[in-house]
Amino acid sequence: MSTEVLRIAAAIVAAVGLVLMLTPTALAAWTRLPDRGRRITGLAVLLIGWVVMAGTLVPDAVSDRLSTPVGLAAGVVGVLVALALLMLVGWLVARRPWTWFLLLGLALPVRVPISVGGEDANLLLPLYAVIVLGLAVLWWMERAGTRARLWPTTPLDLPLMLFAGFVLVSVAWSSDITEGAVKATFFWIPFVLLYLTAVAIWRQGRALLMLAVTTVAMSVPVAVLALGQYATQDILWNHRLMQANVYSRFFRVNSIFYDPNILGRYLALALLITVALAWLKRDSNTVLAACGVVAAIDAAALVVTFSRSSALMLLTGLLIMSLRMFGWRKALATAAVITVAGSAVAIATSGQVRSALTSTERLDKVSEGRFGLVDGGVDIFLEHPVAGGGLGSFATDYSNLLSEKELRKTRVVISHNAPVTILSEEGAIGFALFVWLSVIAAIVGIRATRDHDDDVGVPAAAMLGALAGIFVHALFYSAQFEDPYTWVLAAGLVALAAGQAGDSHAPNPGDSHPSGDGHSL
């Protein structure tokens, strides 16, 4: 069996597992399995597809070693030891689920440089370990009786099952199956599991407290490193960025991340959380002072990323939070005044702004070719209007649209707009499912923000603002579903909304760990 066929088969197997896991009970009679058995079977099938898919991406040096009897035996022993260690650590963490969210908060931003499929990549390896650990924790919690069912039913189950399942199956007709396998292995499959696990143990794990504290605390050294890079004019990891800084008017920093825009996205998220903490603890001068210091450091680092998309993300999040904190009339009126005044000043004082607003060519140049990429994505969609070009196909299909001369002059062929990426790779079917999922997620988030209790409503507004901000950021940088924070924020909103509504399928507040309802910051 060729590698490509194996990858397609693994993607389909993973999609089948996802269907078994997330099909609503009322629609699952066709499986003839009890609800718990169906979910466990689905998880097993999904994990098999994930492991097989990952196996096709193992570097040749590693596969050559495993092909020998000694290497194979060592590999089997290593896997068994790792599983035993996983179950032991899972048992320990299941006794105090808040430690899983602590580990999750620490792992979310950490990326490790590695070679995959013959290309260099920066992967969330610590996060993958935490996700697998979460499955072990959930298994132990269910055995101990602290979970009534393997996963609670959520409003996102059906649209998520259809959208993610369709995305995985689309590997079968992708023009770049290798890239599709990379995206399925390192983003789609593990992040679906991350979402489900976070929803399942959110209330028992004091999730809001752990995630907020770790994100804010980690943002400070990340920001300090970024400011140090700007002061010393030296950066890490990204050789392309080093070269770009030589010829640019601005020196952009990346801290622990590969790309300045991802650093900016992380700092914007941390700033939104810091504002929420300050609002909730506004009676404490100590907390307010600490939040002020963190905000000043993070904001300064955000400035030297020179990431316009991250600034828009922050403004979007602050607007949504202000709707909850001050009411929609005051918030929208203030936003309108600031927008009009700021635009007027920018247009009056900057010839470049006026040029960008009156010239599409100049606007495309300022946006580093993003408008050209959007046009190309639409052209790809028109060639594959129903089911798209398949997961991971954008770069290949976009390159095929260009002449040799245009290709030599084009610096970027990777999509920088998430909706356009989905439209081109998944077609009208996938885009419609994406819109359905987004609308349901927005409704769930709005429902959670309407809680009269600030301890629920304000964190929900911060999470909804961050989620909407990531979407805005993804209009210019893409990586909406490739960002694990998207999935964690969605899980938090679902958990808060379910708790507010008293959903009988939500995690039971009466479970053991009564202090871990995850509401209070």
Q: What percent of the chain has pLDDT over 70?
A: 84
Local confidence band at 148 (pLDDT 50, 70, 90 cut-offs): low
CB atoms within 10 A of CB 131: 23
Q: What pLDDT shows up at residue 246? A: 82
Q: What's at 204, amino acid-wise?
A: Q
Query: Mean of the pLDDT values across residues 471-476?
Result: 92
C-alpha–C-alpha distance, residues 213 and 186, integer Å: 26
**Angle between the 454-477 and 418-449 helix axes, to the nearest 10 degrees?**
170
- The CA distance from 357 to 339, in Å, is 15
Which three-class secondary structure state does DSSP give residue 448?
Answer: helix
The tokens describing 274, both together, are 């810091």
User: 3-class secondary structure for 26-60?
Assistant: HHCHHHCCCHHHHHHHHHHHHHHHHHHHHHCCCCH
Residue 502 has pLDDT above 60, yes or no: no
Cβ neighbours for 424, distance < 8 A, ≥ 6 positions apart: 377, 378, 380, 381, 384, 388, 389, 393, 394, 397, 415
pLDDT at 152 over 80: no
Q: What percent of the chain has pLDDT over 90?
A: 50
Q: What would the DSSP string read from start to end of 61-119?
A: HHHHHHTSHHHHHHHHHHHHHHHHHHHHHHHHHHHSTHHHHHHHHHHTT--EEEEETTE
Q: What would the two tokens of residue 140 be? A: 């132990």
Give per-residue pLDDT as tens, 84-99: 999 999 999 988 999 9
- pLDDT reading at 503 higher than 70: no
Residues 459 and 209: their CA atoms lie apart, in Å, by 10
Q: In sequence order, what are the residues at sequence separation of 6 or more whose Cβ sits closer than 8 angstroms to the Cβ of residue 390?
A: 170, 171, 172, 173, 174, 175, 176, 177, 180, 425
Compute the residue count for the chain.
Answer: 521
Is residue 231 predicted with pLDDT exceeding 80?
yes
Q: Binning pLDDT at 50, 70 and 90, where does residue 511 land?
A: very low
Q: What are φ and ψ of residue 75, in 5° steps?
A: -65, -45
Residue 399 has pLDDT above 90, yes or no: no
pLDDT at 507: 40
Q: Is the pLDDT of residue 218 over 90?
A: yes
More confident residue, 163 or 377: 163
Q: Are 40 and 66 in contact (CB under 8 A)?
A: no
Neighbouring C-beta atoms of residue 69, cutoff 10 Å: 7
Buried b (16+ CB within 10 A) or exposed e, 100-129: bbbbbbbbbbbbeeeebeeeeebbbebbbe
Please tell me the distance from the alpha carbon of residue 125 to that of residue 114, in angstroms, as a whole number: 9
pLDDT in tens, 245-304: 888 888 999 888 888 999 999 999 999 999 999 999 888 899 999 999 999 999 999 999
Query: What mean pLDDT comes out for the span 221-240?
Result: 89
**Which residues, in sequence order, are CB contacts of 410 under 8 Å at separation 6+?**
369, 372, 402
95-120 average pLDDT score: 83
Question: What is the radius of gyration, based on Cα positions, of the chain?
Answer: 23
Higher pLDDT, 412 or 336: 336
Question: Is the separation of the CB atoms in 314 and 272 below 8 Å?
Answer: yes
* Residue pointed to by tokens 């992040």: 191
For residue 150, the tally of other CB atoms under 10 A from its CB is 20
pLDDT per residue as tens digits for the range 51-66: 999 988 887 667 667 7
Q: Are 493 and 506 in contact (CB under 8 A)?
A: no
Residues 194, 199, 200, 202: is their CA dihedral positive or negative? positive
pLDDT at 198: 93
- Measured between alpha carbons, how far is 110 from 125 in angstroms, rounded to an integer? 8
| Mean per-residue pLDDT over the chain, rounded | 84
Residue 171 DSSP label: G
Q: How confident is the model at residue 477 (pLDDT cuts 50, 70, 90)?
A: confident
Asked whether residue 521 carries a pLDDT value surpassing 60, the answer given is: no
At position 230, the amino acid (one-letter code) is: Y
pLDDT at 235: 86
Report DSSP letters for 263-296, one per residue. Answer: HHHHHHHHHHHHHHHHHHTTT-HHHHHHHHHHHH
- Please determine, for residue 519, whether its predicted confidence score (pLDDT) is greater than 50: no
Of 391, 520, 374, 386, nearest to 457 by C-alpha is 520
pLDDT value, residue 513: 37
Tokens of 309: 């998309």
